[in-house]
Amino acid sequence: MVDSAALQSDINAAAEWSVENRLPFNTAKCKVITFSRKRSPLLADYSLGNVGLERVQEIRDLGLVLDTKLDFHKYVTGICKQASKTLGFVMRASKQFHVGVAVVLYSAYVRSRLEYGAVIWDPYEAKYSLMVERVQRKFARWLYRKAYGYYPYLYPSLFVSGMVGLDTLRMRRKLLLLVHYLSIVHHRVDCPAVLERIRLVVPVRVPQDMNCVAVAPRRRPGLLQRVSARTISLLHLMLTQYEEADLYFI
């Protein structure tokens, strides 16, 4: 209750500031949502300028749909449906185009939608990761047929994607995540909350033999420390990220 009262006090201060500066809030667009893993979270009522704020179970912010559990299941399902419809249009419109033109159209209208905000919603569950991957696999097989003249019925999807020069979307999401982390470490992105969670391993001194010659270690140690997690889902997500990071940092 103390936190709820403090938040309401901050809302009142923001409302007073908006009135004094003649920049009123649109209360119809102001919503309340609580993010929690608890089964029965504390749900308090808030008001803005004597107008009660509506409580919702999901909200859209910069194109991303955030729900109370932050699992992004509904968002991933939605973008896959939209991307599938757009992919059908791209394949129909690209029948007479060159293969390179079809790839450019796919990257601009389909893959860009499947990767927007992927650093935030990157699914750790195989079900939803496969759901996103199926959209590109469909395009990869269509592109293979366009390039080689026959449909690859019996070829595995990974082989087909490699033959047409398409990296898996899962791999691309991990690369985007690594680029984001490197940007935070090098202070190109200001995010102190994430920076304090990135724990680097201090390199050990290289051992030397009796002749003062450096002896190469048998295995190069990782650069990131593995931190503990309170939930199985978080542990699985962190282990997946650290395994991918080790592959690229080594």
Q: At which residue do the structure tokens 């190109």 appear?
A: 188
Q: What does the pLDDT profile of the chain (250 residues) look like in tens digits?
A: 788 889 889 999 999 999 899 998 888 888 999 888 788 888 888 888 888 888 998 888 888 888 888 888 999 999 999 999 999 999 999 988 899 999 999 999 999 999 999 988 998 888 999 999 999 999 999 999 999 989 998 899 999 999 999 999 999 999 998 888 888 888 888 888 877 777 776 666 655 555 665 555 556 666 666 666 666 666 665 555 544 444 333 3
Cβ count within 10 A of residue 133: 20
Which residues are CB-neighbours of 157 under 8 A, at least 6 positions away?
133, 137, 140, 141
Q: How many whole angstroms separate alpha carbon 131 and alpha carbon 75?
A: 12
Q: What is the pLDDT at residue 245? A: 41
Question: What pLDDT, on the 0 to 100 scale, is given for residue 227?
Answer: 60
Can you give the pLDDT at residue 248?
Answer: 37
| d(C-alpha 110, C-alpha 122), whole Å | 17
| CA 50 to centroid of chain Cα atoms | 37
- Say how far apart CA 192 and CA 184 lie, in whole Å: 8
d(CA 117, CA 128): 15
- pTM here is 0.73
Query: Which amino acid appears at position 176 of this protein?
Result: L
CA distances from 71 to 31, 115, 234 (A): 20, 17, 11
